[in-house]
Structures are given as C-alpha cells and as structure tokens.
Amino acid sequence: MSGKSRKIALPGRAAEPAGFAEPVEPAERAEPAERGHPAKLAEPAEPAEPAEPGVELGVGETGGPEGWLAKAVERVVEWAGQRGPSAGERRILAVEGRSGAGKTTLARAVADRLAAPLIHMDDLYAGWDGLDEGVTNLRDWVLEPLAAGRPAAWRRWNWAAHAYAEEHPVPDAGWLVVEGVGAGARVLRPYLIGIVFLRSSPAVRKRRALARDGETYAPHWQRWAEHEDRFYATENVTADLVIENEEH
C-alpha cells in the first residue's frame, strides 16, 4: 500500500478546519447483539488516523443514508481503481472497522459495483475466540493460493454446530472484497491493494448493532470486545482510506 491515507467525513460530523487533527475517543465498552454469527462491539482507540482531514462531505452532499452509501461507494471504487493487482491477477480490497460501523453494507455495495466476490470474516472466525484463526484461514485458504495462481476455497464456520462446515470456492474475478475485523491484519497486507476503514461513534454503532442483531449477543459482548481491543492494539491497522459514517 502506498500513498497517503484519505478520510471521508460523512454526515453527522461538522466540517473541520484544515489541519485539524481529531482526538482519539476514549475506550468504551458497547453492548450486545447477534445474528447467528458474531456482531462484535467495543470502542477502544481506533487505528492510526491519516495526518490530513481529507475530503469532507456534508449532509446536503450525501442526502441521508442512501446518499451516504452512494457517495462512499463512488469514492472507494475511484480510489481502488488506481491500484494494480495484489495477489496474482487479483486486486483484493479489505474493509475494516468495528461492529456497527457499516462494513458489511459498504463492502456489499462495493463488491456489487466491481462484480467481485465478497468474503465475510464472520464466516472464517473459529467461534467467539477465533479472530486470530480467522485471519490465518483467510491467508492460508484464500490469499496465498490466489497469489500463487491456484484455485482458492474457504470453509464456513457454523456458529450453531461450533465447527467448520461446507467449502466455498472463490469465483474467478479480477477483484475480491473481504470485510470484517481482521481483514487488515499485518500478515495479510502483502496481498491487499489497501484497507478501507469505516468509523462511527460508539453510540451510533451500538444503536445500529442492537437494531440489527437484537439482545441475544449479551453473554458474548465483552468476550468479543476484548479480542477486538487486543487486535487493534497489537496490529496498529493503518488505513489507506478512512470513511466516517454517522448516518443512523
């Protein structure tokens, strides 16, 4: 990954003067949710921010949640299109960020625009304590084979059975999008064209996740939050493009 990081500050955040560096928010625990596989929530310090405020987009420019998504997709596709292949003949894009930040929504829309297969890290984690194994699986099952010009396939974690289940071949395509905590891990960076990081305030992320996943995640909330905290503290994920998402 080369070049400076760029940040898009999306609705819900006032435009900042040039040269303004946003302070890192204090760590905060969030509360639970679930959808049959992990919806991880927690808010320790975010990964390193770009040194510049980047492109500021106001509410009027994005036109609400649908406008936010359209604008964010355009920016990501424009930026990604300037990168060359990163694993064999593929361009592989990682979409990172904490639970409720909008990773899945953005990644799905970007993948649709690029006609790219989409892999969710939620399908690769080996349960609630399997973040690290999910990262290793992505490298061993998908990224290394693609970089070597070989077919790749990954196995889905069955959250109900607590075991890996069926195998999914990675379709042929010029692109691959991977979304979820861990997609931007240090060991994976050599295979990526870059990392897009979605960021939202703790309150907004919590509201989204609970609305999406309900209350059944409560017993696992802190457990996963600690894994997420540790990952970001040790990996120091540095994004190429940071997108603020305060849409409700």
Tell the burial category of 29 from Cβ atoms under 10 Å away from its Cβ (0-12, 13-18, 19+).
middle
pTM, to two decimals: 0.76
Superfamily of domain 6-17+30-244: P-loop containing nucleotide triphosphate hydrolases (3.40.50.300)
Radius of gyration, alpha carbons of the chain: 17
Residues recorded for the chain: 248
What is the predicted pLDDT for the residue at 241?
Answer: 96
Spans of all domains in the chain: 6-17+30-244
Q: Mean pLDDT in runs of 10 for the chain (248 residues)?
A: 44 34 36 38 40 34 74 96 97 93 95 98 96 98 98 96 97 97 97 96 78 71 83 92 86
What is the predicted pLDDT for the residue at 105?
Answer: 94
What is the predicted pLDDT for the residue at 63?
Answer: 58
